[in-house]
Amino acid sequence: MSDYGDSDANWIFYQDRPEWSDVTPVPENDGPTPVVVINHSERFVDVYNYFRAVLQKDEKSERALELTKDAVELNSANYTVWQYRRDLLKALGTDLRLELDYVETVIKLSPKNYQVWHHRRVLVEWLQDPSLELDLTGDALEQDPKNYHAWQHRQWVIKTFGLFDNEMDFVDSLISDDVRNNSAWNQRYFIMNNHHGWTDENVQKEVAYTLEKIRFVKNNESSWNYLRGVLLHDCKGMSGNNAVKSFCEELYNKDCRSPYLLAMLIDCCDEAVKNEEMNDLYNAERAIELCQALANKYDRMRCKYWNYLCNKFKNFKNNATNKTDTKN
C-alpha cells in the first residue's frame, strides 16, 4: 500500500493488486455530454475508481481505510473521502492517536485546506483531548500568521476546552513581531470578549496597550480598528476617554495625518453630534473639515464615502441653523 507522500516510482495500480481482484472499479460518470472533461492522471483515475467501488458497497475494512489515504494524497480537499474515512475509523475502532499523527502530516502539506482541519476537529471531539492543538496551530501560524483555518481551529479549541490562560502572551508575541498582524489583533479581541471581559479596568488597560502600539506605527489600520472596538465597551464613549482624546489631539497637533487618526476624530465628532454634546473639539464643522481632507488628500481611494459623510454633517449643520433661526 502507498503511504502518504510515496513517490510515483513505487506506485502499484490497484487494478494490478491481487488483494483487490474481487472489486470491480467504478469509473467516473460525467454524463453523456460533459461540458469539461478533466484530464486526470492514470493514478488518480485508478484510485478513485476503486474508491467509488468501496463507497458504493459501504465496505468497512482496513484496505478501504488505506485506500482513503491514497485518495487524500491525490485530492486532500475531497469531503466525501474524509467523511468515509471517519466512518471507517469508527467502524474499525482505529487508534485515533495514530490518526492524529497522520492528519498532522496532511495539515503540514496542505495547511489551508478546510476539510483536513475539520477532520482534526472531529478527532479532538471524539477524544476530548485538546493537548496537542495549541502547539499544532502555533506551528501553522509560525509558517503563516494569517492562516484563517488555523486561527479558526485554535479559537474553537480554546473556547471549547477553556484554554485561555496563556493565550494573551501568545498573541502579544505575534503583535510584537508584526504590529500589522490583523489576525493577532482579532485574536486579542476574541480573548478579551470571551475570557477577560470588558470591565472598566480592562478597557483602560487595552486602551493603553493599543495607544502604545499606535505610537510605534501610526499608520496601522489593525491597531486603530482594535482601539475602536475597545472603545465600544467604554461607558464614556470615544470622545469621553481622556487618554484617547489627548493622544489623538497630540498626534494631530504634531501634523500626523494618518487617515485612521482622522477617521477616529470624525467618529468622535459623530458621537458628540448624536449625543448633542458638541464642544470646541468635536462638532459638525470639524467633522466636515476632516471629511474634506480625507476625500481630497489623505484617503482619495474612499473619497465617495468621505464625501457622503461630509454631506451628512453639512445637513445636520444646516438643520441646526434653521432650527435656531426659527426660534429667533
**Residue 70, domain extent:** 1-94
Considering 69, 94, 119, which residue would you say is the last residue of a domain? Answer: 94
Considering 77, 94, 111, which residue would you say is the last residue of a domain? Answer: 94
Rounded alpha-carbon distances, angstroms, from residue 44 to 29, 50, 74, 80, 219: 15, 10, 6, 15, 49
Catalytic one of 60, 69, 112, 312: 112
pLDDT tens figures, 135-191: 999 999 999 999 999 999 999 999 999 999 999 999 999 999 999 999 999 999 999
**In whole angstroms, what is the distance from residue 132 CA to residue 144 CA?**
19
Establish if 230 belongs to a structural domain: yes
Considering 41, 62, 94, which residue would you say is the last residue of a domain? Answer: 94
Establish if 111 belongs to a structural domain: no
pLDDT tens figures, 270-324: 999 999 888 999 999 999 999 999 999 999 999 999 999 999 999 988 877 666 5
pLDDT tens figures, 211-257: 999 999 999 999 999 999 999 999 998 889 999 999 999 999 999 99
**In whole angstroms, what is the distance from residue 89 CA to residue 166 CA?**
33
Amino acid at position 72, single letter: V
Establish if 192 belongs to a structural domain: yes
Q: What is the pLDDT of residue 219?
A: 96
Quote the number of domains for the chain.
3
Neighbours of 79 (CB within 10 A): 11
Establish if 206 belongs to a structural domain: yes
Rounded alpha-carbon distances, angstroms, from residue 284 to 141, 224, 263, 278: 44, 22, 14, 8
Start-to-end CA span in the chain (Å): 92
Q: What is the pLDDT of residue 178?
A: 96
Which residues, 6 or more positions from 11, have their beta carbon under 8 angstroms from its beta carbon?
2, 43
312 is catalytic: no
Establish if 269 belongs to a structural domain: yes
Same domain membership, residue 2 and residue 50: yes
Residue % of the chain over a pLDDT of 70 = 92
Q: What is the pLDDT of residue 322?
A: 62
Same domain membership, residue 232 and residue 184: yes
Establish if 149 belongs to a structural domain: no
| pTM for the structure as a whole | 0.89
Same domain membership, residue 87 and residue 3: yes
The chain-wide mean pLDDT, for the chain, equals 93
For range 191-211, the mean pLDDT: 98
Establish if 100 belongs to a structural domain: no
Quickly state the pLDDT bin for 3 (edges 50, 70, 90): very low
Establish if 23 belongs to a structural domain: yes
Give which of 109, 53, 51, 117 is closest to 85, Cα–Cα: 51
